[in-house]
Amino acid sequence: MTDDNRDALLLALLPDVPFDGWSRHAAINAGRRLGLDGAEVAALYPGGPRDLVAAFSRWADRQMLARLGHLDLTGLKTHERVAAAAMARIEALALHREAARRALGVLALPTNAPLAARLIYETVDAIWYAVGDQSVNFSFYTKRGILAGIHAVTMLYWLDDRSANFTETRGFLERRLAEIGAMPRWRQRLAARLDNLPRPSGLARAMRGR
């Protein structure tokens, strides 16, 4: 089974998710329409709903990157490029909003918290790399952590947005990003101090030398 088979099944399943959820039953029905039996469906997504939701998130990430490839981001400030990337992902999900809502419901289960964290990290990491981020050390993690929070609340806002072309969601996102950009310089000072701290390996060597 190839990635093409996985994507084909995922796309065949999406129209059923608003009614049947991210369930094995829905996946099997979608598989039948593609000429796949239950065993073949299980082989494509052995983890069931968890695997399906993860594939959906990663599909949205790939769609976002593909859309960004057609945009000219030259001359835009960093927060504007980030906003463009985040909105490109939302636009890719526009026809599947209820599927996205149901996916968030699956990821909200306590047992799926590690998966939810991994998927949101993959998304924000893809966004930062796509907009040309070259940060390292403390800044690398803070940028991803901050954007993860913004991405999460923006997705929740979008789920109930009925404005044309999601203009209200775009405004909400841009305001959140602007607020981060306007934060005081304490982040840079804290980053510099943390980067100057001894690394754990260095501390271990120092302790052995005593």
The pLDDT tens digits of the residues spanning 143-156 come to 899 999 999 999 99
Confidence at residue 207, expressed as pLDDT on a 0 to 100 scale: 43
Q: Which two tokens stand for residue 187?
A: 């982040």
pLDDT of residue 204: 47
- What pLDDT sits at residue 94? 96
Please provide the CATH number assigned to the domain covering 49-196: 1.10.357.10
| pLDDT at res. 206 | 45
Contact criterion met (CB below 8 Å) for 47 and 40 = no
Give the pair of three-digit tokens for residue 109.
Answer: 């289960």
Q: What is the pTM of this model?
A: 0.84
Domain ranges for the chain, please list them. Answer: 1-46, 49-196
Angle between helices 186-195 and 137-159 (to 10 degrees): 140
Cα 147 to Cα 153: distance, rounded to the nearest angstrom: 10
pLDDT of 173-208, one tens digit each? Answer: 999 998 876 554 445 555 565 566 555 444 444 445
Residue 145 corresponds to which tokens in the numbers above?
């952590």
Q: Which amino acid appears at position 194 of this protein?
A: L
Contacts of residue 104, Cβ cutoff 8 Å, sequence gap at least 6: 155, 156, 159
Please identify every stretch of the chain with a pLDDT value under 50, giving residue numbers as ranges: 184-186, 200-207, 209-210
Structure tokens at 201: 């390996």
d(CA 114, CA 123): 14
Q: Whose CA is closest to 113, among 158, 121, 154, 141?
A: 121
